Homo-oligomer: A and B are copies of this chain.
Amino acid sequence: MIPLTDLTLSEYLEARGRLVDDALDTYLPPASHEPRIIHEAMRYSVFAGGKRLRPLLVLAAAEACDGEPAHALSVACAVELIHTYSLIHDDLPAMDNSDTRRGRPTCHIAFGEAIAVLTGDALHALAFALIADAAAAVGAERALAVSREIAGAIGTGGMVGGQVLDLLGEGRPMRGNASPVNSRFELVREIHLRKTGKLIRASVLAGAMLAGADERAIAALGRYGERVGLAFQIVDDILDVVGVEAEVGKRLGGDAARFKLTYPGAFGVERSRELAADLTTDAVAAISSLGPRGRILEELADDLRRRER
């Protein structure tokens, strides 16, 4: 494998993205295995043109801590499976009711709602099997620490909790309580931190843990991950408002149409751009102690802020 230091960011993302895609193809059961429909649905949803941001962060964080990318590959795939499961469930009629994603029919449109629920559940379970697989390369201690970190990031204190707050924020009729956060500004931040930020942060932390990084490096990468995760979601919100339909590949203004709480909605587009830039600066500053080993992570943070899709 070409060493990290000799690659530009785009060469790095392409090379490691290929690694991830090849590994996902290996780890997912073949579509010919019974019951075929669920294996087809898992592959349909995983190979849908995603950016592979979370697995790339696992690998880049591992390499920034002098870890072998090959040893982090099963966990990199696991976080992508978890991300995919969350998109499938979020798209369901009872949730965001989205018919298309990245220009293609969503899982429940293509395979039916029952299979879509089960496809999410199957990807969720397979992710934890893949995290356990990492033990062969890095030992049970590190693999288990990663399993704990990721499980914590996707529960009610993280991804699922963020989705609940998002639903409550929409004023969707539901039994019981209203949103727990008083200020609209606080709420949108809390939703984004949990719904997107925690899994992105856990992906960065997982890479560092698998590489056996020391506590100081892990803390620095945790700060980096949290800020990058929040900036990523803010840019997503901005693109939802100002993007071009063909580029984003989903119905634009969807968030506004559903009265979702977003950064542009709460702060305006210009202020949201500034906030994303500030978070990115903070993220880069957080990992200055890594020195040149942190270059890919630094450039990636900046690249994510500037992206147009």
Contacts and interface: CB of A to CB of B under 8 A. Distances in A.
B148 A132 contact: yes
Given A38-B164, A89-B117, A168-B37, A155 B176 contact: no
Contacts of A180: 34-36
B177 A37 contact: yes
Interface in A52-99: 85-86, 89, 92, 94-95
Number of copies: 2
A167 interface: yes
Interface stretch (A107-115, A203-211, A249-257, A276-284): A107-115
Contact of A176 (B36, B122, B126): B36
Contact of A175 (B112, B148, B163): B112
A151 B175 contact: no
B132 A174 contact: no
Contacts of A219: none
Interface in A109-157: 110-118, 120-122, 124-126, 128-129, 131-133, 135, 139-141, 143-144, 147-148, 150-152, 154-157
A271 interface: no
Contacts of A4: none
A35 B161 contact: yes
Contact of A117 (B40, B94, B125): B94
Chain A, interface SS category: helix
Nearest to A153: B125
Contact of A121 (B38, B113, B160): B160
A165 interface: yes
B141 A113 contact: no
A114 B167 contact: yes
Interface residues of A, number: 67
B140 A89 contact: no
Given A126-B155, A152-B129, A160-B118, A36 B110 contact: no
Interface string A156-186: 1100110111011000111111011100000
Contacts of A126: 151, 155-156
B111 A155 contact: no
A92 B115 CA distance: 12
A140 B144 contact: yes
Given A39-B156, A117-B89, A124-B121, A175 B129 contact: no
B35 A122 contact: no
Contact of A115 (B110, B132, B135, B164): B164
- CB-based closest 3 A-B pairs: A34-B180, A94-B113, A132-B148
